[in-house]
Chain A
């Protein structure tokens, strides 16, 4: 790995890596500790003699019980899951076909069309939600899951298209030409040869798209208003921060439970997903 003396390896490798891992994981640790910390410890002043910010001696499940029993958290989870899954599926489908077409088919303006799609991805959502709100209202979709299922693809499709376009370009075109000489139509060559080879790329596009829609905040905040329709990020922040009162325990419990599905998906596909990012096609 790294040649040289032991101290060198510590100074240039283990210590920086340790610091990096610590910085990344500390918020999660804080989230977990806060979730199981009883209220009397949470609101204890920092100069109190028994102030222990980094651990607790009296772990409790009260906050989780409150979150699941007294709020609509499970409804929010279900809403988020449905919206994210459907939005991801739509975006992946369109992204696959668009990415294939832009990387493989020769047609006029293919290059500028690709750039155009990328530019739409660069338009900030914080600007785009204003005209989109108008459209949502005109179609009477406000306060329904459709408001998000149909607006998330506006940034997910460009994202998927670009990621997959790059991936398709890395696949040697001879594979496809060979399939077409072998007797496959362009469509069959795409379905039987190109898509199976592109599975790592498709998986990473899917995982990213799912995560982006799972964490999406501003559209969900603007387009949904009744508590029963909300998604996890919006539900937790709007229902557990009342005025200037922060219900830290349930808030952190919500954040913790809300991040579990994404963490599960990531760890399940991690190998493919890394291959997708580094774009390796073994021939």
Chain B
């Protein structure tokens, strides 16, 4: 009847107490399924979910001591804000005074004391989001689960709520698992970030660790905005100096990276360089780290300028100083930071 679909394979994560862990990946990568498994809303074919010291595989969601915030808020439309927040406590037979105290406390943290009597449909998106958060906070659970809680908000509010979430987490210091497809949210919120793809964990690490040392091409391309540039280059060993060349450009690889590239001498490899590690060359840049490019599109963001470049047969993006005056069709000489180059195996896509 039901085909066994393994949305998630071999996820092995240990989440530290009071940690804010973010699961990030493109849609359909299994991050939400992982979260729902922790919540008990999805069954697990093999393995164990442990919260605290308890194996909770067989426990229904209500007994796992977790609270979850959903993407569409899932507020109970027929109940007032107060009753929405009190529902979980009522179900657990808390006495009225304690319920009132906890709801007011949470409402105060979130700044929604004024709306307690309103129905969800009388609230704005941001207020609903706060109520959904409040409903989780009043429970004082062991773990908070967030399923893309900010993606229904408009861009400005999202940034604002992101900061508030971080503050709330600092204040409550409760373990949290947060699912998002937005790498900026992941980087800014997470103590540690888990990058997933097709149900498989790609890398687990602190935000800067993922940024500086991605383990494979997928993580490298997913973390960072604008995304990392990739180019296929041929590695050659010219008397101890490693070179990476293709039709568009050729560079000398920094000596400290050279030993790692040695096995690839005479073969193709994927090279990655982040847009922010490219800049317009000045006279003092060593010739081995420079290449020529033609400007295709100029995007001025104010704090920086993004240049879409044609380099030989391929396109690249460079994030340069806003002072750079470039126009469509201009020829530029660019320099790259040799110590910021990434190399990935062509077949396994793993970092070299």
Contact = CB atoms under 8 A, between A and B. Distances in A.
Nearest to B94: A183
B75 A283 contact: yes
Given A108-B1, A182-B135, A283 B60 contact: no
Contacts of B218: none
Interface in B17-52: 39-41
Contact of A283 (B41, B68, B77): B77
A193 B84 CA distance: 11
Interface stretch (B85-93, B155-163, B272-280, B286-294): B85-93
A283 B73 CA distance: 9
A181 B91 CA distance: 10
Interface string A194-213: 00110100000000000000
B78 A172 contact: no
Nearest to B41: A177
B88 A182 contact: yes
B121 A179 contact: no
Contacts of A175: 74, 76
A81 B350 CA distance: 76
B188 to A, nearest CB: 25
A182 B71 CA distance: 16
A283 B70 contact: no
B121 A183 contact: no
Contact of A174 (B74, B88, B121, B139): B74
A199 B60 CA distance: 27
A180 B39 CA distance: 10
B72 A183 contact: no
Given A181-B64, A182-B91, 9 more contacts: A174-B71, A174-B74, A177-B68, A179-B87, A180-B41, A181-B40, A183-B92, A185-B62, A282-B77
Interface of A: 106, 108-109, 172, 174-175, 177-185, 188, 192-193, 196-197, 199, 281-283
Interface of B: 1-2, 39-41, 60-62, 64, 66-68, 70-78, 87-88, 91-92, 120-121, 135, 139
